Structure 1
């Protein structure tokens, strides 16, 4: 199943009369950057990117169909308001903040790195668990608890990683910061150069608490959504020349682009070749290098935890439950 990490609704404002947009990307062998016309269904996706490992056919695509579907559908309504120059409030404001968080997490390279680190951490032994396991281990069970987990359900860690990823994309403490910022829509119709976008279009300062803390995303070739954490910086930014805002935005989203950059046409190919992939981008996914915080995969055994509840591996495994 195609999983669009760059949602189709997001790219539609860049479509031309041919119902396509300009896609910039590297040739597989030469790595030379080229451009071509693409429809929104034919770009910005990876097959089974959010598939739930070990789930049955009826539920394995639920993250894409239900969670991402809801995130994108509600964000599309908020984006339409922004394009009309209306700053959304209430549920739509919350939906747009959640969408921005997802855009900082859902790309293939981010998801692969996160899942790999999560599974590795999940399988690291936690002393209290290992001690409990050793108390009840039978002679035909593996010596280590992590090996036992692999026998019971080899997809356990990867599946849990995907479930927790959906929770990370809607962390209320982060959403509150985004919702509480000063939102603005910049309209650039007086500037000849259009705004571009990429597969990493969400731009954010390294830390929102700093005096110039801000975040933003192009929402069309003539519209930029941007939000400021401090009023003074917001006032200073609004005073910038419109052409400079467009130039700085394009430099950011092109530089953050890894696989794809998008525009109205191919006229900016020299700029894309010069800048693409040269800028770091912010991620909101944890690095998963230690057991900590809300993503701790193996917490302390809860009070009243019964080690006898572990299934008996002397019986044939049933992994279809």
Structure 2
């Protein structure tokens, strides 16, 4: 029997979303299909945080088109799921393999959303469209009589999807960047519990960062469940300040960022925060890391570090 390759690519993995589900195995999903319009539906984790063919390789044969999802993203999420189980128990002193797996998962959240993939593809197309006299001169020197007249035509003839392929390859390298992975591994990790009021919300912008993540005042947060927030800081004093912040203020700040920066969806355990979500959904045009990196590519620079 032939196997159907996965075409629904989850940029928010189901292992994370399961924490927001109720006894029926579903959570509340808020989307904004039109400006000013909010659609609400109760759905299973399989029906949230995904886009069909998000990481598909354009032009590839059907049995190879989903290779990035099957071989890279699935493996990344499977390892992160093992780390997530321990983090839910408050165990932040993870074995090195799982610590690195969680750091890799955090880095993937910088790039793998529909917005992020779109930024990267557009930027790569801009980069490849720029004039590069040295490269064009080299092609002129090496081309033979039956070669296409220009390098642009040669690339288009060999692979009309070259820019998209290159963007996906760069994206995977950035998700597995050893320099930034080492930086994340060496930050102080802790989990903050927030029981006693409104739950934490989840969205396509569930990863929040501030003050230059790898600077002395930098930090990173991501909700592990409706009641638990993973935090990473450079300086222990900042970690103490985060833990000392009032519970309601902490949740309010976290949910405001998650909701106002959302683009694709917001997930919730119940409807108690529906008015807040409807009022603030996607209200911040917040610059993202992938947007900044994509701009560097579009401007002809090389993106190799996010710190």
Instruction: Answer whether TM exceeds 0.5 for this pair.
Output: yes
| Residue-by-residue CA offset, 1:10-32 (whole Å, 9 max, x unaligned) | 10000001110010112x35641
Of structures 1 and 2, the larger Rg is shown by 1
Q: 1:165 to 1:29 in 2, by over 3 A?
A: closer
Please state whether the residue corresponding to 2:272 is helix, strand or coil.
Answer: coil
Q: 1:120 to 1:109 in 2, by over 3 A?
A: same
Partner of 2:29: 23
Give the TM-score normalised by structure 1.
Answer: 0.86
Within 5 Å, which residues of 2 pair with 1:36-185? 36-87=41-92, 88-138=94-144, 141-185=147-191
The alpha carbon displacement at 1:143 in A equals: 3.2
Q: CA RMSD in A?
A: 1.8
Contact 1:123 1:157 in 2 (8 A): no
| Residue-by-residue CA offset, 1:204-240 (whole Å, 9 max, x unaligned) | 1141244431001011011000111111111122111
Q: 1:269 to 1:19 in 2, by over 3 A?
A: same
Partner of 1:305: none
Contact 2:31 2:266 in 1 (8 A): yes
The alpha carbon displacement at 1:2 in A equals: 0.6
Contact 1:214 1:227 in 2 (8 A): yes
Task: Establish whether residue 241 from structure 1 lines up as the match of residue 246 from structure 2.
Answer: yes
Instruction: Tell me, in whole angstroms, the C-alpha distance in 1 between the residues paired with 2:278 and 2:182.
Output: 37
Paired residue total: 293
Instruction: Tell me, in whole angstroms, the C-alpha distance in 2 between the residues paired with 1:231 and 1:206.
Output: 15
Contact 1:33 1:273 in 2 (8 A): yes
Structure 1 residue aligned with 2:19, among 13, 29, 33?
Answer: 13
Please state whether the residue corresponding to 2:30 is helix, strand or coil.
Answer: strand
| Residue-by-residue CA offset, 1:88-124 (whole Å, 9 max, x unaligned) | 2311111011101111111111101211210231243
Point out where structure 1 has 5 or more consecutive residues left out of the alignment: 296-321
Instruction: Tell me, in whole angstroms, the C-alpha distance in 1 between the residues paired with 2:179 and 2:216.
Output: 20
Structure 2 residue aligned with 1:4, among 5, 10, 20?
Answer: 10
The alpha carbon displacement at 1:267 in A equals: 1.6
Give the TM-score normalised by structure 2.
Answer: 0.90
Q: Looking at secondary structure, tell me which structure has more helix per residue.
A: 2
Please state whether the residue corresponding to 1:135 is helix, strand or coil.
Answer: helix
